Amino acid sequence: MTVRVGSVELGTGRPKVCVPLTSASLRELQAEAAAVTPAAADLVELRIDRLDGATDQRAVREAIDLVGVALDPSLPVLLTFRTAAEGGGAAIPAEAYRDLLIRSSASDVVDAVDVEAALPREVVDAIMEGVHAEGKPVVLSFHDLQGTPSRQEIVGRLVGQQALGADVVKLACTPQTPEDVLTLLAATADYTARPDARPAITMAMGGLGVVSRLAGETFGSCVTFGTVGAASAPGQVDALRLRDALDLLHTAVRAS
């Protein structure tokens, strides 16, 4: 199965490179968006939790509009508010999170929305319903900031996200050993081998997990995150170099 985010199709070909926009001020955000080119990225993630006034709907709408003007029009936008509980830049009540994402999804600039699966079920359901009503896909995500779940638990979480109605499932973990990275990769392969699997995004964070950001085509992760400027998560690498590596691996896979 594939899912279209703007002009980009997830779930086919090499993993797509997503560059997070993480600036706090509008001026910095404008410069950051303008610096991202199609040569480095396939899509961008607008991290509104990093903004000054992140919980203010008017400030967020202004930032979205600014990105729409500054960004190359060929690059789709994934809108994300990563809560403090999952390593993000701001805390926000669940109901305010719900309203902010639903209203923001109505913008023509936004092509997809990230929703945290750990939030109350009624909040997740309401956001997905609102985003889908705008005709846009939902990335349902989970972040383990302490460790790496078991192989079975990772697959179970991804299957559970799919059952909730996610268009794209996502899980990030924090490896403590090389074996943890292997667990994440094996679980990704298990999930994506299912005949009904949705496109999946998985990664092991930090330096130990960098290999997981490169191996998506082999194990099944359809998006990897790279930087043009500051990183938004531990282990992210330069987007241009990342894309070169992915293209090299893609050529080798196709030739085999």
Is 82 assigned to a binding site?
A: yes
Count Cβ atoms below 10 Å from residue 76 Cβ, excluding itself: 22
**What is the set of active-site residues?**
143, 170
Is 25 assigned to a binding site?
A: no
CA atoms of 246 and 91, how far apart (whole Å): 35
Cβ-contact 187, 181 below 8 angstroms: no
Helices and strands (H, E) in the chain, number of each type: 9, 11
CA atoms of 86 and 68, how far apart (whole Å): 27
- For 185, residues 6+ apart whose C-beta sits below 8 A from its C-beta are 202, 204, 212, 215, 219
Is 213 assigned to a binding site?
A: yes
Is 158 assigned to a binding site?
A: no
Is 236 assigned to a binding site?
A: yes
The rounded radius of gyration (Å) of the Cα atoms in the chain is 17
Nearest 5°: the CA angle 159, 17, 117 is 30
Is 61 assigned to a binding site?
A: no
**How far is C-alpha 147 from the geometric centre of its chain's CA atoms?**
19
For β-strands 3-5 and 8-10, DSSP reports them as antiparallel
The binding site for 3-dehydroquinate comprises: 45-47, 82, 213, 232, 236
The binding site comprises: 45-47, 82, 213, 232, 236
